[in-house]
Chains A and B, each alone.
Chain A
Amino acid sequence: ETGVTQSPTHLIKTRGQQVTLRCSSQSGHNTVSWYQQALGQGPQFIFQYYREEENGRGNFPPRFSGLQFPNYSSELNVNALELDDSALYLCASSLAGGVYYEQYFGPGTRLTVT
């Protein structure tokens, strides 16, 4: 059973640029969520995708967008990068309808915006 993987591990971008982060869900999981974790903070929920549709969103502006593909892999796109977007971005997969709603996290992508 393959766990959740994310790429790239680290990324440096300039303010105003666009970035795409990628995630492969754990085998058999049909739901993926994305989180932003700033230093010293807990993960902040960005959005969740289920069967390729967004079905929940946190307090993030529209320049944060996502995609989920038929194989349940996912992308997080961030446009017009700002300095405050520097953070660890975590992807988590889960099985919708699972009893415990626990999520399985990848190791994250560290994004630095300069």
Chain B
Amino acid sequence: DQQVKQNSPSLSVQEGRISILNCDYTNSMFDYFLWYKKYPAEGPTFLISISSIKDKNEDGRFTVFLNKSAKHLSLHIVPSQPGDSAVYFCAAQTTSGTYKYIFGTGTRLKVLA
């Protein structure tokens, strides 16, 4: 049962344009959502997060949007840069009951120069 899904395994975007990465979840008990970036041969690196009580969080070029009614979140990167090319994972956390931290399967972003 994949509670966090990233349905696009890959995405290519031109440098300077917007990159939009999507994530869907099924468990309404998740209380925090995070995005991580992963380069080859490295562990994931935290990028940005959002609490379930908010619908938007912005940090520089990165903005995360949360639509609780649709159980959907998205990461916008504007403008996209070649250094953004990596695998992006969304993750969801629940502290209700037993603590769990669930990752999606990842989306590989390629920003073309």
Contacts and interface: CB of A to CB of B under 8 A. Distances in A.
Interface residues of A, number: 25
Nearest to B104: A42
Given A92-B43, A103-B46, A58 B100 contact: yes
Interface residues of B, number: 24
B41 interface: yes
Interface in B88-113: 89, 91, 93, 98-106
Contacts, number: 58
A100 B99 contact: no
B46 A102 contact: yes
Given A42-B89, A101-B32, A107-B41, A55 B99 contact: yes
A60 B84 CA distance: 33
A43 B49 contact: no
A99 B112 CA distance: 35
Interface string A77-90: 00000000000001
B72 to A, nearest CB: 17
B49 A42 contact: no
B14 interface: no
Nearest to B50: A100
A101 B76 CA distance: 21
Contacts of A103: 46, 101
Interface of B: 4, 6, 32, 34, 36, 41-46, 49, 89, 91, 93, 98-106
5 contacts: A42-B4, A42-B103, A44-B103, A45-B102, A48-B99
Interface of A: 4, 33, 35, 40-45, 48, 55-58, 90, 92, 100-108
